[in-house]
Amino acid sequence: MKKPNPDDELVFLPLGGSGEIGMNLNAYGYGPAEARKWIIVDIGVTFGREEATPGVDVILPDPAYLADASADILGIVLTHAHEDHIGALGWLWPRLKAPVYATPFTAALVREKLKERGLLDKVPLTEIPMKGKLTLGPFDIEFVTLTHSIPEPNGLAIRTPLGLVWHTGDWKIDPDPMIGEVTDEVTLRAMAEEGVLAMVCDSTNVFVEGTSGSEADVREKLATVIAGCTGRVAVTAFASNVARVESALFAARRCGRKPCLVGRSMHRIVGAAKSVGLLADAPQILSEEEAVSLAPDKVLYLCTGSQGEPRAALTRIARGEFRNVALHAGDTVIFSSRVIPGNETAIHGLYNAFLERGVELITADDAPVHVSGHPARDELRQMYQWARPRIAVPVHGERRHILEHARLAQELQVSETIAPNNGDLIRLAPGPAAVIDEVPSGRLFVDGGVMIDADDEAMRDRRRLGAEGAVNVSMVVGDKKSTILAGPNVLLRGLSMADEEVLEAAIEELARAAEAAFGRLALEQRQDDEAVEGAVMRAVRKAADRLWGKRPLVDVSILRV
């Protein structure tokens, strides 16, 4: 590797995932400040919540800063195939236009995403074998095998003329992961001997003492729990956890049940797994139509929707709206998953819907049917012992996770720690690690099939409608004399009163406020629709504030005849 030039710097830039769990987008830059070359590591999404982002299912990191330097982006390197690491690729690639590199299973899922966006033939996608290497300009990148809750999880050993960065991606230490190899301890120890400048590391479970547990234990317990069930059994899990899917399929076989996949994501992930040689020994999977004819104690449904997603298969089953799958009293749903923070309300609503139907529930609180894919504190300690970095850079967590991870690294005698926020441009070398700049960062929303800014007027209006309601005022105005010929007519949305009579009186008061505002305008102003709309809107909003203590969205419609 060539020697660095005097002006060269190695910098790290998180644009997503440092301040939230999910939406990971990290970048490394090398070179002088005015001529850096970049690689992007992961490009993921997070998911909207109706109360905060009404109508928005998917949220993306804003890559504007990197998009402005797109000619200097050498590649997008993906560590694994979870949505919070690859889900934004199809949406953001047209702004970045860089080649993409991934191992085979991740590449299989990426191709589907690119196909959905009409980009399959446009994006250069290169498959890298497990433990493979590639060179992108000043970056020599080695894929290092780890364990996680999805096939082919990789960390990246990123070598540059200014030092080696160990980017862990998502990981845990599982001595028996069931699918894939165990953590490559030999390579990690060799990296430490070489000298690790910085470790950029997962913080998700930093508050969890001990270890995260092994998938092998879940496989055995899941079979035991299913064996004790009568009636139909539905297991819900993250579809991307192929080892868990395999565990459920094997449990079905051990318990004399036939498995059936329910939900598009489950079919997509299983298809991708089989395309790279996984699940080869799994039992035959029935279609929903075939499973309907089985006796209740002979079927096992493997469903998407463990987080209570409103359109997911399990939620539709709970509502009795799924065409081929129904669960009743005497049946059981096993939640082989964790509750992602923020999803509590949706998941508890799902629990209640099943309980109303007499369906039994088994969660990870009732039996050890789930283990996390992220490192608990003992595993973090072990990784620091293996890698021995000079600088600790916690990522993949809310602010509280990142700060706690930084404290843990200090306890472990790591020389330097940096606790980044999205948008912090961090110099890793030369010299001490430091935040040297703050670049624009933010979020983009996928609204239906359209990508919009987080502060788009439509989103502001939608939030206001939800919180404050809306009033529509319409009136007919004579074009010549500018007098009101009909109206004002008032229509309310999201505003109510104790009874119908009081509500009618409130509507009349809003109409009088609109008429009075019109009447106060000079003749010249009455002939200006914009002036009329502004005056009526202000008057109606003020009256609504008196009546409801709210300032609703007010829309004024004027028809001139």
Q: Three-state SS across 350-399? A: HHHHHHHCCCEEECCCCCCCCCCCCCCHHHHHHHHHHHCCCEEEEECEEH
* DSSP letter, residue 182: P
Helix ranges, 30-99 (H):
64-67, 83-86, 89-96
With contact defined as beta carbons under 8 Å apart, do 317 and 233 qualify? no
Position 31 pLDDT exceeds 90: yes
- 283 closest CA partner among 313, 314, 245: 245
Residue 17: other Cβ atoms inside 10 A: 26
Structure tokens at 219: 């496989």
Residue-wise DSSP of 272-312: HHHHTTTTTTPPPPBPHHHHHTS-GGGEEEEES-TT--TTS
With contact defined as beta carbons under 8 Å apart, do 249 and 282 qualify? yes
Position 508 pLDDT exceeds 90: no
Rounded Cα gap, residues 479 and 202, in angstroms:
66
Element (H, E) at 187: helix 185-194
Please identify which residue in the block is written with the tokens 């102003």: 525
Position 337 pLDDT exceeds 60: yes
Element (H, E) at 135: strand 133-136
- Residue 68: per-residue pLDDT: 94
- Residue 82: per-residue pLDDT: 95
- Residue 464: per-residue pLDDT: 72
Sketch the domain layout of the chain as residue ranges. Answer: 10-210+372-443, 215-362, 457-560
Structure tokens at 480: 């010549």
Categorise residue 308: left if φ over 0, alpha if ψ from -120 to 50, beta otherwise: left
Average pLDDT, stretch 436-447?
Answer: 90
Task: Tell me yes or no: is domain 10-210+372-443 CATH 3.20.190.10.
Answer: no
- Residue 50: per-residue pLDDT: 57
User: For 49-58, 226-235, 255-264, 404-413, which range has the lowest pLDDT when averaged over its residues?
Assistant: 49-58
**Which band of pLDDT confidence, cut at 50, 70 and 90, is reported for residue 54?**
low
User: Does the N-terminal peptide bond of residue 488 adopt cis geometry, omega within 30 degrees of 0?
Assistant: yes
Rounded Cα gap, residues 12 and 28, in angstroms:
5
Select the CATH number that applies to the domain covering 215-362 from these four: 1.10.10.10, 3.40.50.10710, 1.20.1440.230, 3.40.50.720. Answer: 3.40.50.10710
Helix ranges, 396-528 (H):
399-411, 457-468, 500-519, 523-526
For the stretch 358-376, pLDDT in tens is 999 999 999 999 999 999 9
Position 331 pLDDT exceeds 90: yes
- Alpha-carbon distances, residue 37 vs 101, 123, 233, 361 (angstroms): 17, 20, 53, 52
- Residue 499: per-residue pLDDT: 79
- Residue 367: per-residue pLDDT: 95
pTM score, whole prediction: 0.85
Rounded Cα gap, residues 386 and 431, in angstroms:
24
For the stretch 239-277, pLDDT in tens is 999 999 999 999 999 999 999 999 999 999 999 999 999
For the stretch 34-53, pLDDT in tens is 999 999 999 999 886 655 66
For the stretch 70-103, pLDDT in tens is 999 999 999 999 999 999 999 999 999 999 999 9
- Residue 426: per-residue pLDDT: 98
Which of 273-282, 382-391, 442-451 has the highest mean predicted lDDT (pLDDT)?
A: 382-391
For the stretch 163-185, pLDDT in tens is 999 999 999 999 999 999 999 99
Position 160 pLDDT exceeds 90: yes
Question: CB under 8 Å to 194, separation ≥6 — which residues?
Answer: 164
Position 467 pLDDT exceeds 90: no
Position 496 pLDDT exceeds 80: no
Pairing of strands 299-303, 233-236: parallel
Q: At what angle do helices 500-519 and 529-548 cross, to 10 degrees?
A: 140
- Residue 550: per-residue pLDDT: 84
- 161 closest CA partner among 6, 283, 354, 43: 6
- Residue 296: per-residue pLDDT: 96
For the stretch 107-155, pLDDT in tens is 999 999 999 999 999 999 999 999 999 999 999 999 999 999 999 999 9
* DSSP letter, residue 71: G
C-alpha angle 345-348-349 in degrees, rounded to nearest 5? 85
Greater confidence (46 vs 207) lies with 207
Rounded Cα gap, residues 2 and 9, in angstroms:
14
Average pLDDT, the chain: 92
Greater confidence (12 vs 532) lies with 12
Residue type, 95: R
- Greatest Cα pair distance, the chain, in angstroms, is 89
Average pLDDT, stretch 344-353?
Answer: 93
Question: CB under 8 Å to 517, separation ≥6 — which residues?
Answer: 535, 536, 538, 539, 540
Rounded Cα gap, residues 175 and 32, in angstroms:
43
For the stretch 389-398, pLDDT in tens is 999 999 999 9
- Residue 266: per-residue pLDDT: 95
Q: Kindly tell me the burial class for residue 300, based on how many C-beta atoms sit within 10 Å of its own C-beta (0-12, 13-18, 19 or more).
A: buried
For the stretch 283-312, pLDDT in tens is 999 999 999 999 999 999 999 999 998 889
pLDDT > 90 in the chain, percent: 72
With contact defined as beta carbons under 8 Å apart, do 238 and 244 qualify? yes
SS3 call for 413: coil
- Output the CATH code of domain 457-560: 3.10.20.580
